[in-house]
Structure 1
Amino acid sequence: MSETATPATHRRIPSFVHHRTRLTDGQQQAWRQWWPVYGRDVADVVAEAGSGPVDPADWFGRTAPLVLEIGSGMGESTAALAAAAPETDHIAVEIYEPGLAQLLMRITDRGLSNLRLLRGDAVELLKEAVAPGSLAGIRIFFPDPWPKRKHRKRRLVRPEFVRLAASRLAPGGTLHLATDWADYATQIRAVCDAEPTLRNAAADQQGGWTPRPDWRPMTKFEQRAVAEGRAVRDLLYHADHE
């Protein structure tokens, strides 16, 4: 294992709640046929990592830059980004089975060979199965904002998580985040700016926010946020460590 588990007396509060949701007939068919090919459970990956971090080359059959996406939702942007960068391998971690099943359909429709799916806790995956300095990038687009004040302790982007994520990035690797919740954007920026091994790519620009990149697909979710008057903020950081 790459790090010791969190002691029981300091148990981590998960950033998600897993609700079982019924799959459509098409999603069920995709799951039965393609999950054994493209998907795995985080718990199984972690169990196999007892002797050391997992080697992604075993999954993809090649050695290539690797990007991890946390919370791929319905997979709309995930599939598009994987298709746009065939030279890069992509892993999407999600707990929502309909979203994973929909992404399986996108993989097969597009004939993508550089995308694999994991179901489960991304933090556990990073801690136990991802080698330090091994990722070219981590993407977290529109994480659950947990808008009620009493639930904000469940937000994913907190100092301990950012420290962990930064340690898994290769030097110069990127941590790219986007959110449509103003107070979460402020929190994310404060936490990431405070991490000494990360450098804000927009630090010298007015406001310090990263302009929305043209290559990040505009999903239906983001379109709805904009239509409802919520500004979307992007934040891009580079790993600045040896």
Structure 2
Amino acid sequence: MTAGQQRAWDRLWPSFGVGAPGFDRDAGGPLPPRDADGRLDAPAWFGRTAPLRLEIGSGMGETTAALAAAEPDTDHVAVEVYPPGLAQLLMRIEDQGLTNLRLVRGDAVVVLEDLVAPESLAGLRVFYPDPWPKRRHHKRRLVQPATVALMASRLAPGATLHLATDVADYAEWMLEVTDAEPLLDNPHRGFAPRPAWRPRTKFETRAEQEGRPSHDLLLTRVAASPGRES
């Protein structure tokens, strides 16, 4: 981390961040507040009851902070493993005076399995996950059938799963995997038009200039089919 990021971490992490299981000792600070079922107690953490959106892989936090600022009546949790990115997001929280954003350092699958209750999220976002471009590494990509099923189970009926990537073959794989998930409906029957409200970062602009346009998937959680558990 830069000196500024380290200062932000030391000063702000205890108020805004927690470590998920497996990262709690490295992250330091308090443990996530939990309810009687052992799940994340969002009202206790944010001091209010509000719709909750979760973002997996917040990177350096530019988009995360902008979306939280644009939705002050919604609470936001960003999950990331990269300390400099989390520290940079802490700086954005302070600079913008955000009170509706909290951070978790941890593995996304562990966070979803261990901390997030079924059917509790108003939305889940995964923007530009690591593409693992070599074919032999594709199995390491976040978007896999089992992970998408887990994501869908954590969404409330009617909530939205939003995926975005600028890697063409990953986009097609995301579409194939989400089309096969029975808890998700794709109202666009394919890729969605790029939402105007999704902030355009310098990285997305550069990718477009290099001939790699972004692909967005906006999917809706449907009610569970009879006999299927969430």
Please report the TM-score for the alignment, with normalisation by the length of structure 2: 0.91
1:93-172 counterparts in 2 under 5 A? 93-172=79-158
Q: Shift of the alpha carbon at 1:52?
A: 2.3
Q: What residue in structure 1 maps to residue 11 of structure 2?
A: 33
Does 2:223 match 1:241? yes
Q: What residue in structure 2 maps to residue 13 of structure 1?
A: none
Does 2:68 match 1:82? yes
Q: Shift of the alpha carbon at 1:224?
A: 1.5
Which letter maps to 2:5? Answer: Q
Q: How many pairs are equivalent?
A: 216
- CA distance in 1 between partners of 2:34 and 2:183 (Å): 29
Which shows bigger deviation, 223-232 or 209-218? 223-232
Which shows bigger deviation, 87-96 or 50-59? 50-59
Q: What residue in structure 2 maps to residue 65 of structure 1?
A: 51
For the residue of structure 2 that corresponds to 1:40, the secondary structure is strand
1:212 to 191, 194, 201: 194
- CA distance in 2 between partners of 1:145 and 1:115 (Å): 26
- CA distance in 1 between partners of 2:73 and 2:51 (Å): 8
Which letter maps to 1:56? Answer: A
Q: Shift of the alpha carbon at 1:104?
A: 0.2
Q: Does the 8 Å CA contact 1:49/1:129 hold for their aligned counterparts?
A: no
Q: What residue in structure 2 maps to residue 15 of structure 1?
A: none
- CA distance in 2 between partners of 1:24 and 1:129 (Å): 30
For the residue of structure 2 that corresponds to 1:54, the secondary structure is coil
Q: Does the 8 Å CA contact 1:46/1:125 hold for their aligned counterparts?
A: no
Q: Does the 8 Å CA contact 1:140/1:178 hold for their aligned counterparts?
A: yes
- CA distance in 1 between partners of 2:151 and 2:61 (Å): 21
Q: Does the 8 Å CA contact 2:185/2:221 hold for their aligned counterparts?
A: yes
1:193-232 counterparts in 2 under 5 A? 193-203=179-189, 208-232=190-214
Q: Does the 8 Å CA contact 1:198/1:239 hold for their aligned counterparts?
A: yes
Do the aligned partners of residues 173 and 114 (structure 1) sit closer, same or farther apart at CA in structure 2, a change above 3 Å counting?
Answer: same
For the residue of structure 1 that corresponds to 2:172, the secondary structure is helix
Which letter maps to 2:196? Answer: D
Q: What residue in structure 1 maps to residue 28 of structure 2?
A: none
Q: Shift of the alpha carbon at 1:213?
A: 0.3
Q: Structure 1, residues 31-68: CA drift from partner, whole Å, max 9, x if none?
A: 00001110110114579679521211111001100000
For the residue of structure 2 that corresponds to 1:211, the secondary structure is coil
RMSD (Å), alpha carbons:
1.5
- Long gaps (5+) in structure 1: 1-22
Q: Does the 8 Å CA contact 1:78/1:92 hold for their aligned counterparts?
A: yes
- CA distance in 2 between partners of 1:134 and 1:195 (Å): 18
Q: Shift of the alpha carbon at 1:105?
A: 0.2
Higher relative contact order (CA 8 A, sep 6+): 1
Please report the TM-score for the alignment, with normalisation by the length of structure 1: 0.86
- Long gaps (5+) in structure 2: 25-30, 225-230
